[in-house]
Amino acid sequence: MRPIAIVSLTDPGQALVERLLASMPDAEHLHRPQPFQGVVQERFLAGQRLILLCAVGIAVRTLGPVLRDKYQDPAVLVIDEHGRFVVPILSGHEGGANEWARQVAESLGAQAVITGAQRYTQPLLVAGVGCNRGCPLEPLLVLLDQTLARHGLQRSDLRALASIELKQDETGIHELATELRLPITFYSAAVLNEYSDRLSRKSEIVFRETGCYGVAEAAALAHAERLVSHDYRAELLIPKQKNADATLAIARIYGNCNT
């Protein structure tokens, strides 16, 4: 996944960055970098995705000399300093800037301004699941249906299920996949740990038992990001829900499914 650099030029823009960093805490923030053009071009040529809080004209004049082609150039978004509009200006389709703009706009309560020819994209939802040893189907199904109902969703909105490799032999989880007619993928604790900083809550108890800090949320995020070819992040649509026997979380990503 390509890293992100956010560049701001004004005080209102700097304040807006704080809101952006809430959903992308690993992003690099550069406020009034000097020299502006050289710093931005350097990040761009290094392959970093850019969010520029400035006028579109400034962004175009800055990046024009270093453009290569739509298959190599990273995605670039321009946002006005008040956070009203999110405009993808480079690598809209191939680099995923259009769908990334939609995600950022949603997080800000802004409007994504997509100017290129539109391809059909959709929100893809993945349910991550975990359970106690020997958990039967019923508690898993009850938790899923209750969670979906509370958020105005249906079983048919889900694209896939995911869990940890330790649960590969759990009959209840396989029965859940069969009941929902959905594929299920199991990930190693090492892969799930790559998402530890994005969990709503890290659990030391879960880590001692499984080797990762959270199963349901991490599995949902991991599989959602593998459903599409773009290199931007999935988001937790529904953080971890639980009952006495099971846990559930739902991640969302926009795009066209790879399979």
Residue 83 included in any domain: yes
In DSSP terms, 198 is beta-bridged to none
Task: Give the confidence band of 9 by pLDDT, cuts at 50, 70, 90.
Answer: very high
Place of tokens 């300093």: 81
- Structure tokens belonging to residue 172: 């209840």
CATH number at residue 215: 3.30.420.180
Q: How many domains does the chain have?
A: 2
Name 4's Cβ contacts closer than 8 Å, sequence gap at least 6: 24, 26, 27, 28, 48, 49, 50, 51
Predicted local distance difference test score (pLDDT) of residue 121: 64
pLDDT tens digits, residue range 82-92? 999 999 998 87
Kindly state the average pLDDT of the residues 26-49.
94
Is the pLDDT assigned to residue 259 strictly greater than 90? no
Domain identity same for 137 and 199: yes
pLDDT given for residue 246 in this prediction: 97
Rounded Cα distance between 112 and 87, Å, is 6
Does residue 129 sit in the same domain as residue 249? yes
Task: Report if pTM > 0.85.
Answer: no
The stretch 150-158 carries a mean pLDDT of 92
**Same domain for 105 and 219:** no
Residue 93 banded pLDDT, cuts 50, 70, 90: low
Domain boundary among 82, 112, 142: 112
Same domain, 143 and 236: yes
Mark which of 75, 94, 112 sits at the end of a domain: 112
**Per-residue model confidence (pLDDT) at position 218:** 96
pLDDT at residue 231, as a whole number: 62
**One domain, residues 159 and 229:** yes
Whether residue 166 sits in one domain with residue 249: yes
Same domain, 90 and 137: no
Of the listed ranges 52-61, 127-136, 193-202, 222-231, the least confidently predicted one is 222-231
pLDDT at 103 over 90: no
Q: Do residues 177 and 197 both lie within one domain?
A: yes
User: Looking at the structure, do residues 251 and 184 belong to the same domain, yes or no?
Assistant: yes
pLDDT at 71: 72
Residue 117 resides in a domain:
no
Query: 86 with 140, same domain?
Result: no
pLDDT attached to residue 125:
95
Is residue 1 over pLDDT 70? Answer: no
| Residue 80 belongs to a domain | yes
30 falls within a domain: yes
Please state, in angstroms and rounded to a whole number, the distance separating the CA atoms of residues 104 and 123: 14
Nearest to 160 by CA among 142, 138, 140, 186: 186
Highest mean pLDDT among 110-124, 210-224, 231-245: 210-224
- Which residues form the domain of 231? 122-255
Last residue of a domain, one of 94, 112, 130: 112
